[in-house]
Structure 1
Amino acid sequence: MLTQEDFYINKYAQEKIELTKFLIWFDSKNEVDQKMIIRHIGEYIKQAIPDKVNWNQNEINCIIPSVPLKQSFTPIILLKTKPLKIALEKIYNLPKEENKKSMIALISIFKHMDQIRRNTECKDGCNHEWHNIY
């Protein structure tokens, strides 16, 4: 069963809600819950990496310009300069002032990666509960 976090993350990734609505939901959470959501999105990113796509740092570098943040913000720099697993760990440990930027960076990357997965592995339908929300 999808949690509220799963529901909102996937609803945004599938363009069923706008970023502004997602941000209102995220901003309503306390610091601990925000950190948990950021970590949750990071885990979703790792799971969404399509096996049939040659995934590498170049793919992340292609996604980053579409992230609606300044390219000089810390989460973006980490994603550009570190391998994904290391960048995620560093993002998880950023101070609370970086929560919103971190979440925006990660949810944008997840959205892109999930689109790839839905258009490759799941293009003929799937049983993923998170791909079948309304």
Structure 2
Amino acid sequence: MRYGTKPDVYLNELAQDLRPLDEGIAWFASLPEDEQTRTLHLLAGFCLQAHPTAEEAVESIRRSGLRPTHTPAVMLVRGRIEDRVGAIAGLTPRHERMKAFRLLIALLAIADGRRRERCRVVGCGHDWHRLAADREAGTGRRSAGDGAGAGDQGGGGGGDGWPDGTGAAPGGADDGLR
């Protein structure tokens, strides 16, 4: 990897407001099309694991800054969420992928936020639910086997476009919403 943070950790950090969304949008915009598609499918899987509700879907549209008439927003509220999230991840026009990224990050933030709150009460073993606590504690702990600590600046070299721990994202912030 060119950067130290793995995609699953980075996407969860964006959803948990541990990284600025503008950074994530710029990073996503800089990815080649095939990487954007893989990222959207990974993100869709995370959303489905969080089991979003219809109310959370509506709130995610508002939070994402999309208009309710934008294609991914319309798709999300028409039909079963479980069926629609994967379809949103499969959108192909570049401007629709950018909207899909914003919407799915917002959906994950809301649905998984609810789950993190529940975990505080009943406890859980999900590493991604402890990112903020690990960061505050300075442990930099990550998912087993990923080797990326919170302060890890990456080893340089791979060129796959994943962000590092410095907060610098490659590319520009063209989110396709104009």
Please tell me the residue identity of whatever aligns with 2:11: I
Who is 2:26 aligned against? 24
Q: Which residue pairs with 2:158 in the alignment?
A: none
Match of 1:132, SS? Answer: helix
Whole-angstrom distance in 2 between the partners of 1:48 and 1:89:
14
For residues 63 and 73 of structure 1, the distance between their equivalents in structure 2, rounded to whole angstroms, comes to 13
TM-score by length of 1: 0.83
Using the aligned pairs only, state the percent identity: 28
Backbone CA RMSD of aligned residues: 1.8
Matched residue, 1:130: 128
Provide the residue aligned with 1:102 in structure 2: 100
Q: Compare CA radii of gyration and give the structure with the larger one.
A: 2
Residues of 2 paired with 1:101 and 1:40: CA distance? 16
Q: Which runs of 5+ in 1 are unaligned?
A: 50-54
Which of 34, 37, 46 aligns to 1:35? It is: 37
Give the structure-2-normalised TM-score. 0.64
- Is 1:42–1:106's contact at 8 Å kept on the other side of the alignment? yes
CA shift for structure 1 position 132: 2.4
Contact 2:56 2:107 in 1 (8 A): no
Aligned with 1:45 (options 41, 44, 47): 47
Note closer, same or farther for the CA distance 1:128–1:108 as it changes in structure 2 (3 Å cut).
same
Query: Is 1:70 matched up with 2:67?
Result: yes
Q: For structure 2, which runs of at least 5 residues remain unmatched after alignment?
A: 136-178
Paired residue total: 126
Given that residues 76 and 105 in structure 1 are in contact (C-alpha distance below 8 angstroms), is that contact kept between their aligned partners in structure 2?
A: yes
Report the alpha carbon displacement of residue 72 of structure 1 after superposing the two structures with TM: 1.2
AA aligned to 2:107 is I
Deviation >6 Å, runs of 4+: none
